[in-house]
Amino acid sequence: MKKWLIALAGVLMTFTLAGCGSKTVASTSGGKITESQYYSSMKGTSSGKAVLQQMILNKVLEKDYGSKVSSKAVNKQYDSYKSSYGSQFSTVLSQNGLTAKAFKEQLRSNLLLKEAVKDKVKITDKALKKQWKSYQPKVTVQHILVTKKSKADDVLAELKKDSSQANFTKLAKKYSADTTTKNKGGKMAAFDNTDTTQSSKFLKAAFNLKNGEYTTEAVKTTNGYEIIRMIKNPGKGKMSDHTKDLKQQIWDNDMSDSTVLQNVVSKVLKGGNVSIKDNDLKDILSQYLSTSSTTSSN
């Protein structure tokens, strides 16, 4: 399962704190529960405080970066998750206590936070050079997955006679155990060095191939034995040609770095003119507002 991102406090919440009021939230034979009673109860809990923190952050982020996050961007990310999980998507949402609307709201929150990271984090030349060491541009391959080495050897023997893309495609349809790609001739979606769906052995073998080349020895992974053929490898080229991609990868890494996020959230909230009106909650942002270190990726 992919990691469900949340901007602050690492808590998945789909409800909001009710405002103080006398409106009845629930009624029982023992009496009614009002909004004000519910609020008073929730604000004393860690989960209730986490929701308020998130709501405050979202308000400030929306003001500062809302124009940079379109509904199209949110829907694109949503559709990516939906496509990845396929028929299990609704189940996954339910298991995480989410509706489609709530999940889209969380995706928007994280896209807003990423804009803040891009704005507040200084990317140094050192950081770019470090990312360049592991960088690989997106490549497109086709593969044949088999469960036994003997079968892999048989396929390799056939490829030795004819290593054309047409023959590889035919062999993939005939032998591959990967039901997702076999009917496509083993063709996979393009990937780069940030891919987490394939093993490091698979990625290393793939990136070493030039256009039209294939692995003359099967690559053993936890899935079985892989034979990989390169369809399109643009080549790594020069670092200066990939500055935009390198920055994007660094920002993506920062989104998983709690220290970086702590500093970014601190800067955002300090500039948000936040005023807590409830004395019981006056210190709710203290862990963020007390942070003052410089944020940079290096």
DSSP string, 169-183: HHHHHHH---TTTGG
Q: Are 274 and 60 in contact (CB under 8 A)?
A: yes
- State the pLDDT at residue 84: 81
- State the pLDDT at residue 288: 86
Q: Residues 206-225: what's their mean pLDDT? A: 97
Name the amino acid, one letter, at 265.
V
Pinpoint the alpha helices (H) of 43-95.
Answer: 46-65, 71-85, 89-95
How does residue 45 score in pLDDT terms, banded at 50, 70 and 90? very high
**What are the structural domains, with CATH classification, of the chain?**
24-128+242-297 (no CATH), 136-232 (3.10.50.40)
Own/partner contacts of 146-150, CB < 8 Å, gap of 24 or more, are 146/175, 146/176, 146/177, 146/218, 146/224, 146/225, 146/227, 147/177, 147/224, 147/225, 148/224, 148/225, 149/218, 149/220, 149/225
DSSP structural state of residue 96 = T
CA 205 to chain CA centroid, Å, is 24
pTM of the model: 0.78
pLDDT reading at 141 higher than 90? yes
pLDDT reading at 53 higher than 60? yes
- State the pLDDT at residue 293: 57
pLDDT reading at 6 higher than 60? no
